[in-house]
Structures are given as structure tokens and as C-alpha cells.
Amino acid sequence: MEEVREGRALGGGMEADGPANPQELPPSPQSPSPPPSPPSPAAPETPETPELPEPEQPSEAHARQLLLEEWGPLSGTLELPPRLTWKLLLLRRPLYRNLLRSPNPEGINIYEPAPPTGPTQRPLETLGNFRGWFIRTEKLQQNLSWTVKQQCVDLLAEGLWEELLDDEQPDITVMDWFEDSRLDACVYELHVWLLAADRRTVIAQHHVAPRTSGRGPPGRWVQVSHVFRHYGSGVRFIHFLHKAKNHREPGGLRRTRVTDSSVSVQLRE
């Protein structure tokens, strides 16, 4: 939390010492007129800089061509509602991108083992950029606890539209990576709900609590993923929640790290 410190400017007028009756002052001599300022030197001539043309905006047909090349061949025709244009769609690119905010808040590279770290007493929010995540803690027995992080994706706000979600029902892919921390038999859970416009009605859901084998070096990354298909009409929000287990030690909390979380929407081929 940012600490805002308010400062107050201190100041005041100072009364000049002088006679009580200003009319008793002798008349002051008239000041001479100041000399005129010397003329300013002429500015050197500069060549005229040509005006740079504004970047050309793609036409509707060109924007459609660029997007279809990016998305790949479609099984059928993709019709847009009247309120949506291909140029706007090209700008927002709601398909084939990660819709989660701060998917890698601690900046950890999954192509290398999780960097070793000891127990810490620092709050999780101070260890990276967790903007977009709602974070809470669930206490368990035997000095264990869950760190729960979640966020809700508004599909219409991200640029998707009702007709696409209801008629085409594109694939919705969720993916995550968690550290094999060996803090317990199960150190990670994933919970995802596809919600209607009221953000309460559940249309489809997926829950998993994987258990690692315990073989191999600790700190390796384990991938978890799921694809929602043919989930029905009415999906407007995706609620993404994962849990990572912690263990309380004398020096603080030893955590299970999670990274590269993603939620994306793809057209079915």
C-alpha cells in the first residue's frame, strides 16, 4: 500500500519596519528609465521538416485477411455482428492470446528448475507483480496452508462476442505450471468455472488436484492443462483459481511456486 504523506506549506507575510505614518517619508527620487533591451539575434534558418504521414490504417478487407492468416484456415465462414469490425478485432486480438493478467508474477523461467529459495516472512504480494490477482490464505493442519490466487476474465470485455461464444463455442484452454516442491503429497489444485452473464450460474467446470510421483530432482515444473469443448451457450466469464501449498518453518513460510498461468480461446478446426 502506498503511503501518502501530506505536506503543508508554511509561509507568512513579513511586515516591513518603517515609520507609522507613510506620509512623513521624503519623496523618493525618480528612477531613470531602464535602457532598452538589445535586439535578439535572428534565429538561424532551419530546413523545413517534412510532415510524417500517419500510419495507414488497414482496410476492413485487409484486417480480415491479416487475422485469418494469423488464425489459420477456418472450417466455415466467420460472420461478425454489425457492431464489430475486422479492424477493431485486429486491434484487440481476443483469440489465441493469454487473457489472464500477470500470468508470471514472479518472473520464473519454466525451462529451468525452480530457483532454490528458503523460507520467507515477506508477503507474497511483495515478491513480484501480482496485478489482477485476488490473493488469500487458507490455513491447514500441521503448519500447512494454501495460497489461493484467482481472477475472473470478462470475455466480452476482452473483445469476444456473444454469437461466437454461443454458436461457434470455440475451445477454451486453461494451462498452468507448478513447482514439485515436495512439501506434501498434493501441493497444487486448479479450479476453473465457465460462468453465465450473472457471474454465478455455472455452465461448465473443471477441478484437478494432481499428485506428483516424488521421483526425480525436486523443483521440476509440472504442467496442468484442460480444454473446454462443446460447453453450451451462455458463457461470458471464466473464473480461474489455483492453490499452492505452503509449509510454516522457523524462518518463515516455504512456498510452492506457480507460473505461466494462461486462459485462451481458440477456434475449432
For the chain, the straight-line distance linking the first and the last C-alpha, in angstroms and rounded, comes to 47
Residue 87: CB atoms within 10 Å: 16
The pLDDT of residue 187 is 96
**Whether 157 and 74 share a structural domain:** no
| Structural domain count of the chain | 2
pTM score > 0.85 for this model? no
The larger pLDDT score, comparing residue 218 to residue 157, is at 157
The pLDDT of residue 70 is 86
The pLDDT of residue 226 is 98
Q: What CATH number is associated with residue 107? A: 2.60.120.260
The pLDDT of residue 186 is 95
**Whether 246 and 147 share a structural domain:** yes
CA atoms within 13 A of residue 208's CA, in its CB half-sphere: 17
Q: What's the mean pLDDT in 210-230?
A: 89
**Whether 80 and 197 share a structural domain:** no
**Whether 75 and 183 share a structural domain:** no
| Least confident segment among 109-118, 159-168, 196-205, 244-253 | 109-118
The pLDDT of residue 76 is 59
**Which percentage of the chain shows pLDDT scores above 70?**
77
Q: Do the domain assignments include residue 44?
A: no
Answer with the one of 43, 68, 93 that is the final residue of a domain.
Answer: 93
**Strand pairing report for 171-179 and 144-154:** unpaired
Please, what is the average pLDDT of the chain? 82
pLDDT digits (tens, 9 = 90+) for 10-21: 333 333 334 344
Q: Do the domain assignments include residue 36?
A: no
**Whether 159 and 81 share a structural domain:** no
Q: Do the domain assignments include residue 224?
A: yes
What is the C-alpha separation between 166 and 168, in angstroms, rounded? 6
**Do residues 190 and 224 touch, judged by C-beta distance below 8 A?**
yes
The pLDDT of residue 130 is 95
Q: Do the domain assignments include residue 260?
A: yes
Q: Do the domain assignments include residue 208?
A: yes
Answer with the one of 93, 111, 143 that is the final residue of a domain.
Answer: 93
**Whether 116 and 236 share a structural domain:** yes
> Highest-confidence range of 7-11, 48-52, 210-214, 225-229, by mean pLDDT?
225-229
Q: Look at residue 252 and tell me whether its pLDDT is greater than 70.
A: yes
Residue 60: CB atoms within 10 Å: 14
What is the C-alpha separation between 115 and 157, in angstroms, rounded? 36
**Whether 89 and 101 share a structural domain:** no
**Whether 219 and 194 share a structural domain:** yes
**Whether 121 and 242 share a structural domain:** yes
DSSP string, the chain: -PPP----------PPP--S-GGGSPPPPPPPPPPPPPPPPPPPP-PPPPPPPPPPPPPHHHHHHHHHHHH---SS--PPPTT--HHHHHHH--SSS--SSSSSTT---TTSPPPP---B-S-GGGGS--TT-EEEEEE-STTEEEEEEEEEEETTTTT--HHIIIII--EEEEEEEEE---SSS--EEEEEEEE-TTS--EEEEEEE-------S-TT-EEEEEEEE-S--S---EEEEEEEEEEEEETTEEEE--EEEEEEEEE---
**Whether 188 and 69 share a structural domain:** no
The pLDDT of residue 51 is 58
**Whether 82 and 184 share a structural domain:** no
Q: Do the domain assignments include residue 13?
A: no
Q: Look at residue 212 and tell me whether its pLDDT is greater than 50.
A: yes
Which domain covers residue 131, as residue numbers?
A: 97-266
108: cell is: 520464473
The pLDDT of residue 73 is 65
Q: Do the domain assignments include residue 88?
A: yes
* Dihedrals phi, psi of 263, to nearest 5 degrees: -135, 125
Q: What's the mean pLDDT in 1-12?
A: 37
**Whether 146 and 192 share a structural domain:** yes
204: cell is: 461448465
Q: What's the mean pLDDT in 77-105?
A: 91
94: cell is: 481476443
**Do residues 181 and 187 touch, judged by C-beta distance below 8 A?**
yes
Q: Do the domain assignments include residue 223?
A: yes
pLDDT digits (tens, 9 = 90+) for 21-77: 444 444 444 444 444 443 433 433 444 545 555 556 789 999 988 988 888 766 557
Q: What's the mean pLDDT in 119-148?
A: 93
Q: Which of 265, 268, 173 is nearest to 223 (CA)?
A: 173
